[in-house]
Amino acid sequence: MAGKEPYKVIDVFAGPGGLGEGFAALNQGSGKSSFKLALSIEKDPEAHSTLLLRSFYRQFAPGNVPKEYWSYAKGEITKAALFELYPQQTKAASAEAQCIELGKTPHLEVKNLISQRLDGSEKWVLVGGPPCQAYSLVGRARMKKNNPDFEDDVRHLLYKEYLRIIADHRPPVFVMENVKGILSAQHSGANIIESILSDLRKPSAVVSDRKSGLGYKLYSLVDNKPPEDCDPEDFLVRAELYGIPQARHRMLILGVRDDINITPGILQKSDTTTVAQAIGDLPKIRSRVSKEPDTLELWQKILGSISSAAWYREGRKNSLAETIKKIDSALVEIQKQELKTGAEAMSYTGIPKIFADWYRHGCGLVVTNHAGRSHMRSDLHRYLFASAFAAANGRTAHLKDFPKELLPKHTNVQEGVKNNHFSDRFRAQVGGSPSTTITSHISKDGHYFIHYDSAQCRSLTVREAARLQTFPDSYKFEGGRTSQYHQVGNAVPPLLSMKVAEIVHDILKRMKV
């Protein structure tokens, strides 16, 4: 019956579903979900495949996910076979997770679909955000260079599809997420964030000629200022302050319809969660050796050869002495451990050091998406040095910290040493701190995401990146590995989303209809 819990969620530009997952995971101690995803819309087929599988998983009560789900995760049966065994749940999942490109799919079709899925609900929430590429700081610089018409890129205006949904369906509450780069992005010479905030306050005036009076108050989730006093920077959420094991800074805008006289709460700060706490329990694996016949013995031999380098011997007497000690310890572990290269599904017998119930609920003894990447010989030595340096110094190594013999022979590397430009291009995570931001760039290479454990000498796996994003281990990412990394990097941390969901739930619960 409309208006009863669980409250419905419409998730657009959903990616693999991080924002929606946080809402779906919230319960108020009753064991019953506080929210139900009525519809998730995503245009990318592989991200949609992840959404669909997760929706299927959620059709079962906690603790009652069928064993065949894990059979599929382990590659023992096909997805088609899994879905065929549970047609009712598959039908429900297909209705929820839909592969649609907003802006290209006819507007009336999207409008009717949302109306159908809402089915008269008055208490519900719209969540999501337009694609990030046109707003991200790195992406914007790259696009300006390669595309002189960048300022007219339609991706600047995709948020207007979000406005159309607001104008059509008048959600009592919405949550809009985007990258920090929109604070400085410009369109047609004006700051785009000012336009976005103005449009979100009066969506109908922007997308139609209707003078409906529909308006929204925009609240910060980190500062209890009145909405009229909020500056754009007040919408910036620093995830590491709220227990997320990652220094992820994103815009989160909470909109409450003008006719609802409720002041929302704000996020409550939490103790710091570190990289080691988040991923240290996962199975230890090694990287593969690229462009050569890979074996454990070859990997061990390549890493062991670092000790014969002149810089290594001399380093014992200079500022690298502590780093060399860390490498020495790692080499002992490397030679005695018989590490595998990981797999899309592998056995797991550990216990997470933090958020154990969150990460491992219902997972049994399986962990997915935990296959190591391949690295070249030269990069293996760089990764070993970078991870040991980070452990010894509590910070990542900059190019000027590397022995000259380890630096790539590229002109831009020498410029980086001299001018300190992109000087952390071999960035090891520090085990005792939150990670740096997991971005979609992790899909391109692992140089910015080197594991803190030198004895594993590799970049992060998809599962480790997902852990830092706070995805539960039962969340299996679909598609090729490049796509999996991309999905994880673009997502909202579900555990942060669940904290936002608590605030939204309080608004809807207090709302009178």
The 3-state secondary structure of 84-107 reads HHCHHHHHHHHHHEEECCCCCCCH
Q: Are residues 64 and 208 in the same domain?
A: yes
Q: How far apart are the C-alpha atoms of 105 and 126, rounded to whole Å?
A: 19
Q: Name the band, by pLDDT with cuts 50, 70 and 90, for residue 136.
A: very low
Q: How far apart are the C-alpha atoms of 462 and 446, rounded to whole Å?
A: 11
| pLDDT of res. 478 | 98
- Phi first, then psi: give them for residue 75, nearest 5 degrees: 80, 15
Q: Are residues 135 and 256 in the same domain?
A: yes
Q: Are residues 11 and 102 in the same domain?
A: yes
CATH number at residue 430: 3.90.120
Share of the chain above pLDDT 90, in %: 75
Range of the domain at 363: 275-479
58 close to 95: Cβ distance less than 8 angstroms: no
Number of domains in the chain: 2
| pLDDT of res. 206 | 77
- Phi first, then psi: give them for residue 237, nearest 5 degrees: -110, 125
Residue 420 is assigned to a structural domain of this protein: yes
Which pair of tokens denotes residue 65?
Answer: 């996910």
466 close to 369: Cβ distance less than 8 angstroms: yes
Q: Could you tell me what percentage of the chain is helix, strand and coil, using 3-state DSSP and rounding each to the nearest 5?
A: 45, 15, 40
Q: How far apart are the C-alpha atoms of 461 and 454, rounded to whole Å?
A: 15
Average pLDDT score over the chain: 90
| Burial bucket for residue 71 (CB in 10 Å: 0-12, 13-18, 19+) | middle
Q: Are residues 299 and 234 in the same domain?
A: no
Tens of pLDDT, residues 113-127: 999 999 999 999 999
Residue 91 is assigned to a structural domain of this protein: yes
Tens of pLDDT, residues 277-296: 999 999 999 999 999 999 99
| pLDDT of res. 444 | 80
Check whether 193 has a pLDDT greater than 90. no
Residue tagged 């018989």 (tokens): 338
Which amino acid, residue 513?
A: V
Count of residues for the chain? 513
Q: How far apart are the C-alpha atoms of 295 and 298, rounded to whole Å?
A: 5
Q: Name the band, by pLDDT with cuts 50, 70 and 90, for residue 63.
A: confident
Q: Are residues 199 and 265 in the same domain?
A: yes
Residue 447 is assigned to a structural domain of this protein: yes
282 close to 464: Cβ distance less than 8 angstroms: yes
- For the chain, the C-alpha Rg in angstroms (whole number) is 24
| pLDDT of res. 417 | 53
Residue 486 is assigned to a structural domain of this protein: no
Tens of pLDDT, residues 142-185: 445 555 554 455 554 577 888 899 999 999 999 999 989 888 88
| pLDDT of res. 196 | 85
CA distances to 136, 372, 508 from 70, rounded to whole Å, are 36, 21, 36
| pLDDT of res. 415 | 54
CA distances to 98, 166, 171 from 114, rounded to whole Å, are 11, 11, 11
Residue 379 is assigned to a structural domain of this protein: yes
Helices 481-490/45-58 angle, 10° precision: 70
More confident residue, 412 or 326: 326
Check whether 98 has a pLDDT greater than 80. yes
| pLDDT of res. 423 | 57
Q: Are residues 236 and 365 in the same domain?
A: no
Pairing of strands 7-12, 35-42: parallel
Q: Name the band, by pLDDT with cuts 50, 70 and 90, for residue 204.
A: confident
Q: Are residues 259 and 208 in the same domain?
A: yes
Q: What is the DSSP letter of 431?
A: T
Which pair of tokens denotes residue 72?
Answer: 């599929």
Q: Are residues 316 and 412 in the same domain?
A: yes
**What is the DSSP track for 175-189?**
EEEEEGGGGT-EETT
Q: Name the band, by pLDDT with cuts 50, 70 and 90, for residue 342.
A: very high
Helices 18-25/494-510 angle, 10° precision: 50
Q: Are residues 435 and 304 in the same domain?
A: yes
Q: Name the band, by pLDDT with cuts 50, 70 and 90, for residue 409.
A: confident
Check whether 62 has a pLDDT greater than 80. no
Q: Are residues 258 and 330 in the same domain?
A: no
Give the chain's largest Cα–Cα span.
Answer: 76
Q: Are residues 250 and 108 in the same domain?
A: yes
| Burial bucket for residue 492 (CB in 10 Å: 0-12, 13-18, 19+) | buried
Span of 75-89, 345-359, 369-383, 423-437 with lowest mean pLDDT: 423-437
- Segment 359-381 shows an average pLDDT of 93
| pLDDT of res. 396 | 94
Residue 233 is assigned to a structural domain of this protein: yes
Could you check whether the bond before residue 203 is cis, i.e. omega within 30 degrees of 0?
A: no
| pLDDT of res. 147 | 55
Tens of pLDDT, residues 424-455: 679 999 999 999 999 888 888 779 999 999 99
More confident residue, 299 or 413: 299
Q: Are residues 173 and 297 in the same domain?
A: no
Q: How far apart are the C-alpha atoms of 418 and 409, rounded to whole Å?
A: 14
Residue 1 is assigned to a structural domain of this protein: no
Among 473, 437, 503, residue whose Cα is nearest residue 352: 473
Residue 42 is assigned to a structural domain of this protein: yes
Among 343, 362, 240, residue whose Cα is nearest residue 282: 343
pTM across the whole model? 0.92
389 close to 400: Cβ distance less than 8 angstroms: no
Q: How far apart are the C-alpha atoms of 146 and 52, rounded to whole Å?
A: 35
Q: How far is C-alpha 266 from the chain's CA centre?
A: 22
| pLDDT of res. 134 | 47
Among 344, 388, 355, 286, residue whose Cα is nearest residue 477: 344
**What is the DSSP track for 333-392?**
HHHH---B-EEEEEE-----SS-HHHHHTT-TTEEEEEEPPEE-HHHHHHHHHHHHHHHH
Which pair of tokens denotes residue 167?
Answer: 């104008």
Tens of pLDDT, residues 209-242: 666 678 999 999 999 999 999 999 999 999 999 9
CATH number at residue 505: 3.40.50.150
| pLDDT of res. 211 | 62
Q: How far apart are the C-alpha atoms of 496 and 371, rounded to whole Å?
A: 26
| pLDDT of res. 182 | 86
State the first-to-last Cα distance of the chain, in angstroms, to the nearest integer.
Answer: 14
Q: How far apart are the C-alpha atoms of 191 and 135, rounded to whole Å?
A: 11
